[in-house]
Structure 1
Amino acid sequence: IPIPLISQYSKMLSRSLLARPLTRALSNVAGIHRAGQAIDSYPGQLRQSITSDELVKGVADENDIARLKRVFSFENASQPEINAMVKSRMIQRFQLKPGDSGCTEVQVAILTAKIHYLAHHMEVNRKDFSSRRGLEACVHKRRALLTYLKRTKFARYMDLIKNLDMRDTIRVWPTERANDRRK
């Protein structure tokens, strides 16, 4: 096969793989701009549980201070650290009272962040079938939690789906969608 045909094929393949996103990106939820990535909404935040004053204690040189802050910033964090930070931000944003991490809203928000991370992972690794099963399980669990929340606390349900940038599926009958209704 001639070289130009291979390069055209690879360009065409890369365009077709990138043209089909699995989900919409979380735009403003807990500082996420892309699935699993931390946005720079907290530019001075460090990934360890130390403050910047504790980090620079005993360091006199300004260049060393700048290097230390770069090393411990979230720009250099690993994916598990980013996922833990996103989870803690979701808990802080959707908790009903301090220390509340088990309410339905928090569980749905955490599952939404996990779904977006797994969807991004599935775009990159299309043949990872165990992650696909995990993604489907997360979607099913989130759907069940949203159904419960919609049935019991409708106002909080509407507020949650608005904050998470999700759609509400309106059903005319319990087994039919509004646009699929037959006469």
Structure 2
Amino acid sequence: MPLTKEKKATIFAEFGGKAENTGSIEGQIAMLTERISSISKHLQANKKDFSTNRGLMQLVGQRKRLLAYMQKHNLTGYRELIAKLGIRK
């Protein structure tokens, strides 16, 4: 299920500074985390949905690359973000 405009705006407002700042790394990571959690819930109910599983793996890889970039360029922000999102790392 795709994210609504209102949900995206609240995510970017909380993590990116303001709702229009959709290019911020923090906001993109938070949005990917929200999508990953919703797709994970879908896959728990539909275990044989392999195409969705592939899409989930792609999102996890994209989030991993963004987290690596953020860790390289802004270590304190990276640590705050993973603590706020509850990502194990």
Q: Same fold (TM over 0.5)?
A: yes
Q: Does 1:136 align with 2:57?
A: yes
Deviation at 1:112, TM superposition (A): 0.1
More helix by share: 2
Rate the CA distance shift 1:98–1:138 in 2: closer, same or farther, 3 A: closer
Q: Does 1:117 align with 2:38?
A: yes
Cα-Cα RMSD: 1.4
Q: Secondary structure at the match of 2:79?
A: helix
1:84-140 per-residue CA deviation (whole Å, 9 max, x = no partner) reads: 133222111111355211111011000000000000000011111110011000000
Task: Supply the distance in 2 between the matched residues of 1:96 and 1:153 (Cα, whole angstroms).
Answer: 16
Task: Supply the distance in 2 between the matched residues of 1:120 and 1:89 (Cα, whole angstroms).
Answer: 21
Structure number with larger C-alpha Rg: 1
TM-score, normalising length from structure 2? 0.90
AA partner of residue 11 (structure 2): M
Task: Supply the distance in 2 between the matched residues of 1:129 and 1:165 (Cα, whole angstroms).
Answer: 26
State the aligned residue count.
Answer: 88
Task: Supply the distance in 1 between the matched residues of 2:83 and 2:51 (Cα, whole angstroms).
Answer: 31
Name segments (4+ residues, structure 1) moved above 3 Å.
none
Gap runs ≥5 in structure 1: 1-78, 169-183
Task: Supply the distance in 2 between the matched residues of 1:98 and 1:113 (Cα, whole angstroms).
Answer: 16
| Identical pairs, percent | 34
